[in-house]
Chains A and B, each alone.
Chain A
Amino acid sequence: MDKYECTACGYIYDPAVGDPDNGIPPGTSFEALPDTWVCPQCGVAKDLFVKLD
Chain B
Amino acid sequence: MKILIVGNGLAGTLAAKTLRELDPAAEIEILGEERFPYYPRPNLIEYLAGRLPYDRLFAFPDGWAERQSIQLRLGEKVVRILPADRKVETAAGAARSYDLLLLATGARAALPPIPGIDRRGVFVIRTLDDAHSLMEHLVRHKRVTILGGGLLGLEIARALRSREAEVDVIEFFDRLLPRQLDPDAAAILRSQIEAGGVTVRLGQVTKEIVGDPAVRGLRFESGDALAADTVVVAAGIRPEAGPAREAGLSVGRGLVIDDLMRTSAPGIFAAGDVVEHRGRIHGIIPAAFEQARAAALNMLGQDRPYGGTVASNTLKVAGLYVTSAGEIDAAGDQGYESLVRSDPAAGLYKKIVLQDGRLVGAIWMGTKKGASEIGRLVALRKNVEAVKKDLLADEFDFTEIA
Report which A residues bind B (CB closer than 8 A): 5, 7-10, 12, 35-36, 38-39, 41-45, 47-48, 50-53
Q: State which of B46, B59, B372 has its C-beta within 8 Å of the C-beta of A42.
A: B59
Give the distance to chain B from A14, nearest Cβ to Cβ, in Å: 13
Asked if B349 is at the interface of the complex by the 8 Å CB criterion, the answer is no
Give the size range of B's interface with the partner. 20 to 34
Asked if B314 is at the interface of the complex by the 8 Å CB criterion, the answer is yes
Interface of B is mostly: mixed
Enumerate 5 A-B pairs (CB-CB under 8 Å) in ascending A order.
Answer: A5-B314, A7-B313, A43-B59, A44-B40, A51-B368
CA A52 to CA B312, docked complex, whole Å? 16
Q: State which of B13, B42, B289, B314 has its C-beta within 8 Å of the C-beta of A50.
A: B314
Q: State which of B14, B42, B314, B316 has its C-beta within 8 Å of the C-beta of A44.
A: B42
Given contacts A9-B289, A35-B56, contact A48 B321 (CB under 8 A): no
CA A9 to CA B309, docked complex, whole Å? 12
Q: Is the CB of B56 within 8 A of A50?
A: no
Q: State which of B38, B42, B312, B369 has its C-beta within 8 Å of the C-beta of A48.
A: B42
Asked if B214 is at the interface of the complex by the 8 Å CB criterion, the answer is no
Given contacts A36-B56, A42-B14, A48-B46, contact A7 B316 (CB under 8 A): yes
Question: Please, which residue of chain B has its CB at the minimum distance from the CB of A36?
Answer: B56
Given contacts A7-B316, A8-B40, A8-B285, contact A45 B56 (CB under 8 A): yes
Given contacts A7-B314, A50-B314, contact A44 B289 (CB under 8 A): no
Question: Please, which residue of chain B has its CB at the minimum distance from the CB of A37?
Answer: B56
**B52 CB contacts on chain A under 8 angstroms:** 45, 47
CA A35 to CA B42, docked complex, whole Å? 17
Question: Which of A7, A9, A50 has the most CB atoms of chain B within a 10 A radius of its CB?
Answer: A9
Give the distance to chain B from A33, nearest Cβ to Cβ, in Å: 13
Asked if B36 is at the interface of the complex by the 8 Å CB criterion, the answer is no
Q: Is the CB of A43 within 8 A of B39?
A: yes
Report which B residues bind A (CB closer than 8 A): 10, 13-14, 38-40, 42-43, 46, 51-52, 56-60, 285-286, 289, 312-316, 321, 368-369, 372
Q: Is the CB of A5 within 8 A of B51?
A: no
Could you list 18 further interchain pairs (A-B, Cβ under 8 angstroms) beyond the known A5-B314, A8-B285?
Answer: A7-B316, A9-B285, A10-B286, A38-B59, A39-B59, A43-B39, A43-B40, A43-B58, A43-B60, A44-B59, A45-B52, A45-B56, A47-B46, A48-B42, A48-B43, A48-B46, A50-B316, A53-B369
Question: Please, which residue of chain A has its CB at the minimum distance from the CB of B45?
Answer: A48
Closest 4 CB pairs of A and B: A43-B59, A44-B40, A8-B285, A8-B42
CA A2 to CA B314, docked complex, whole Å? 18
Q: Is the CB of B43 within 8 A of A45?
A: yes
CA A38 to CA B57, docked complex, whole Å? 10
**A53 CB contacts on chain B under 8 angstroms:** 368-369
CA A18 to CA B57, docked complex, whole Å? 22
Q: Is the CB of A5 within 8 A of B372?
A: yes
Q: State which of A5, A12, A42, A52 has its C-beta within 8 Å of the C-beta of B40.
A: A42
Question: Which of A7, A8, A12 has the most CB atoms of chain B within a 10 A radius of its CB?
Answer: A8
CA A43 to CA B43, docked complex, whole Å? 9
CA A8 to CA B60, docked complex, whole Å? 16
